[in-house]
A and B are shown apart, each in its own frame.
Chain A
Amino acid sequence: MGKPYGSMPRKKVPRGEEGSAMDFAILWDFGGYAQYSVLFYGYYNSQRAIGWLKFRMPLSYFLVGVGTVAYSYMVVIRTMARNANEEGGGDDTSFNFSWKIFTSWDYLIGNPETADNKFASITTSFKESIVEEQESHKDENIHLTRFLRVLANFLVLCCLAGSGYLIYFVVRRSQKFALEGLESYGWWERNEVNMVMSLLGMFCPMLFDVISALENYHPRIALQWQLGRIFALFLGNLYTFIIALMDEINLKREEEEVVKFNMTIWEASLYNGTLAANVTAAPITVDPADVPRGPCWETMVGQEFVRLIVSDTMTTYITLLIGDFLRAIFVRFLNYCWCWDLEYGFPSYSEFDVSGNVLGLIFNQGMIWMGAFYAPCLPALNVLRLHVSMYLQCWAVMSCNVPQERVFKASGSNNFYMAMLLVILFLSTLPAIYTIVSIPPSFDCGPFSGKNRMFDVIQETLQSDFPTWFGKVFSYASNPGLILPFILLMV
């Protein structure tokens, strides 16, 4: 189904790039053969119906994109509703001590060692609750606490503003590099944007953690503040990235105008001197690799997202290996010849960071949602990456991590994470929807090439594939006067 590689201009590596199309460096950057493959938007043909089954490819591309987003919304909201039902109102602390006394012993325990562990953990749990109870009765210096909290928030805001500006600056620089041609720069310049974003994502949360020591909150509340700040950081970074991308899209579209103009000249030169003016010529066979190409902004967007995700993955793995594994080796083996006890003091083994990992997963998913329309195979790649991540992190946790010291019931945050996922879903589908609705697709690549807007494919399908009366009914039904009351009714 669909034309194979090499049969059309959009499906073949251009002549000029053929020499380097198999280079590992080019492939790692998703150029060369990787760019002209089903991985990206630009490869797909805009033929309305393919094969003897008359498969409507552009329509299906559009509907699959929209359908996955709609399905994701349904799944997330349904999960949130189910969680809310089960928890029955969330984190209830009204019978803390009573519940601890009457429901903490597990009657199924039959093994003496398990029983000993259980006794110890119950005792610890009581001691912790007692300490918490005593702390809440302490008289605090309200003014000092408030001042410190305001100061902490101010520092955090400075941090966020700083990181936003840094990314903007780096993106501007990379545009300058691109204009001057990427060949004259080394690896760092080429990957500057992605590396800076990943490094910020690594170090800023640690900074927030240190700042939050000023605030003196209960661990559960401190955790929520921490998560909120990391969320804001990632969101700011992502949106700065997208704005920079928009700039690049506009650049590419201007380039496209120039290329379109040059195409007419090139076509004329093909027929140069071989025919008279008003004769429709027999098509001259030109090798698809030689046809001049428009810059395909959609493929460029897809490539940027795939690169971002790859660099994010690499950063996670490297942090894991260095931060957890090497540290554990260092602590374990150098402990014999070190002056102070490495295992209890600094640096000791790293703790398993539940919230950080969950946030990482949520943001990974957000990036997939954003890029999936322009790089259709991205979800498949992500499934692969998730499998590898799972095994790697499982091994890392078992061999290098210790559990967190302060054990508190964070399970009331289930809906909190789901709510974050919902917000990310909304925010990440926003850019894609904006580009679909407002930017005309490239003229020579992708399933919507030649149309004025991508969603015109629906209009086209309605007109040509359905009987005429259906079109009339639909146009009456899509009258705003009818749709608005319907929406209000649903709300």
Chain B
Amino acid sequence: MGNKQTIFTDEQLDAYQDCTFFTRKEILRIHGRYHELAPHLVPMDYTNEPDVTLPLALIVNMPELKENPFKNRIVESFSEDGLGNQSFNDFVDMFSVLSEMAPRELKAIYAFKIYDFNTDNYICKEDLEKTLNKLTKEELSAEEVNLVCEKSIVEADLDGDNKLSFADFENMIARAPDFLSTFHIRI
């Protein structure tokens, strides 16, 4: 299996292997997926590092993300501009953190970002309400939502500011039995 690919230089592939949890083959495959999202926008030759980003709307239609209620927040959290426009680096980063090889601490960091809807580095009550409504497709009544969010803050808030900082969130998620198995996307 010689170096027949012309998409990346060897240094680039090595760098990708260092920064993500993927192997060479997987990185090339992911590039293939990125390319087929917009074949006329994404060049096959990445050796001179083109500055190409794909908009949120294209990425969110991938089969892996389509049914996820948090798809918009996921793509936004892994984009540099925070609006969901992802370069290939952001794209591969996203799937790397969500793969099963990523450690718990790293996943917790990004999970916090995803559930923080107003990006103020705290998960406040409104963020919780939005999360809950996305999870239940707004089937719960307003008082039920209120009750659940308040209970959650009471459970997890350690510093008493009525919102969850990253430390609170990490402390709570560290002991969750299902976190690693549910916060996982396979590409």
Partners in one complex: yes
Residues in chain A within 8 A of chain B (CB atoms):
88, 92, 94-112, 114-115, 119, 122-123, 126-127, 129-130, 133
A99 touches B176 (CB 8 A): yes
* A101–B98 CB distance below 8 A: no
| CB < 8 Å neighbour of A110 from B66, B172, B173 | B66
Which applies to chain A's interface (DSSP): helix, strand, loop or mixed? helix
B135 touches A97 (CB 8 A): no
The yes or no answer to B4 lying at the interface (CB within 8 A) is: no
Known: A102-B115, A130-B148. 14 other contacts (CB 8 A): A96-B155, A98-B156, A103-B176, A103-B182, A103-B183, A106-B182, A107-B68, A107-B183, A112-B67, A114-B67, A115-B67, A122-B136, A126-B132, A127-B140
A-B contact pairs, 18 of them (CB 8 A): A95-B172, A97-B152, A98-B156, A101-B128, A101-B135, A102-B172, A103-B173, A106-B181, A106-B182, A107-B182, A107-B183, A107-B185, A110-B63, A110-B67, A119-B136, A119-B139, A127-B140, A129-B148
Q: Which residues of B sit under 8 angstroms from A112, Cβ to Cβ? A: 67
CB of A133 within 8 A of CB of B147, answer yes
How far apart are the CA atoms of A99 and B111 in the complex, in Å? Answer: 13
Judge if B186 is at the interface, Cβ distance under 8 Å. yes
Within 8 Å by CB of A133, from B69, B115, B151, B184, lies: B151
Min C-beta distance of A196 to chain B, whole Å: 44
Scoring A92, A98, A129 by chain B CB atoms within 10 A of each residue's CB, the highest score goes to A98
A126 contacts which of B115, B148, B176 (Cβ < 8 Å)?
Answer: B148
Minimum Cβ distance to chain B for residue A349 (Å): 27
Hey, which chain B residues are within 8 Å of A105, CB to CB? 68-70, 135, 182
Q: Tell me the residues in window 130-187 of chain B with beta carbons closer than 8 Å to chain A beta carbons.
A: 131-132, 135-137, 139-140, 144, 147-148, 151-152, 155-156, 172-173, 175-179, 181-186
Q: Which of A108, A111, A122 has the most CB of B within 10 A?
A: A108
Q: Complex Cα distance A97/B146, Å?
A: 12
* Chain B residues whose C-beta falls within 8 Å of the C-beta of A96 in the assembled complex: 151, 155
Closest chain-A Cβ to B158's Cβ sits at a distance in Å of 12
Question: Which residues of the partner chain B approach A104 to less than 8 Å between Cβ atoms?
Answer: 135, 178, 182
With CB as the reference atom, state the residue of chain B lying closest to A88. B175
Q: Within 8 Å CB of A110, what residues of B?
A: 63-64, 66-67
A123 touches B66 (CB 8 A): no
Number of interface residues of B (CB under 8 A): 38
Residue of A nearest to B181 (CB): A106
Closest Cβ–Cβ distance, residue B122 to chain A (whole Å): 15
Report the separation of the CA atoms of residues A99 and B171 in the bound assembly, to the nearest whole angstrom. 12
Interface contact B176-A101, CB-CB below 8 Å: no
Residues of A within 8 A of B148 (CB): 97, 100-101, 126, 129-130
- Expressed in whole angstroms, the minimum distance between the Cβ of B117 and any Cβ of chain A is 13
| Assembled-state Cα–Cα distance A122/B177 (Å) | 17
Chain B residues positioned under 8 Å from A94 (CB to CB): 155, 175
Query: How far is the CB of A412 from the nearest CB of chain B, in Å?
Result: 10
A108 to B186, Cβ gap below 8 A? yes
The 10 closest A-B pairs by CB, nearest first: A115-B67, A97-B152, A123-B136, A97-B151, A103-B178, A98-B152, A123-B139, A98-B156, A103-B179, A99-B176
Within the complex, the shortest CB–CB distance from A187 to chain B, in Å, comes to 53
Q: Complex Cα distance A101/B140, Å?
A: 13
Select A102's contact among B69, B144, B173, B184, beta carbons within 8 Å: B173
Q: How far, in Å, is A414 (CB) from chain B's closest CB?
A: 12
A164 to B99, CA, bound (A): 58
Given A95-B155, A106-B182, A130 contacting B144 (CB threshold 8 A)? yes
Residues of B within 8 A of A107 (CB): 68, 98, 182-185
What chain B residues lie within 8 Å of A126 (beta carbons)? 132, 136, 140, 144, 148
Q: Is the CB of A101 within 8 A of B152?
A: yes
Q: Which A residues are in CB contact (< 8 Å) with B137?
A: 119, 123
Write the nearest CB–CB distance from A60 to chain B, whole angstroms: 46
- Report how far A96 CA is from B177 CA in the complex, Å: 11
Interfacial residues of chain B within 62-90, with CB under 8 A of chain A in the complex: 63-64, 66-70
Residues of B within 8 Å of A123, CB to CB, are 136-137, 139-140
Rounded to whole angstroms, the CA-CA distance of A119 and B186 in the bound complex is 21
Known A95-B155, A98-B156, A133-B151: A108·B176 in contact at CB below 8 Å = no
Complex CA–CA separation, A100 to B172 (angstroms): 12
In angstroms, how far is the closest chain B Cβ from the Cβ of A279? Answer: 84
List of A residues within 8 angstroms of B128 by Cβ? 101
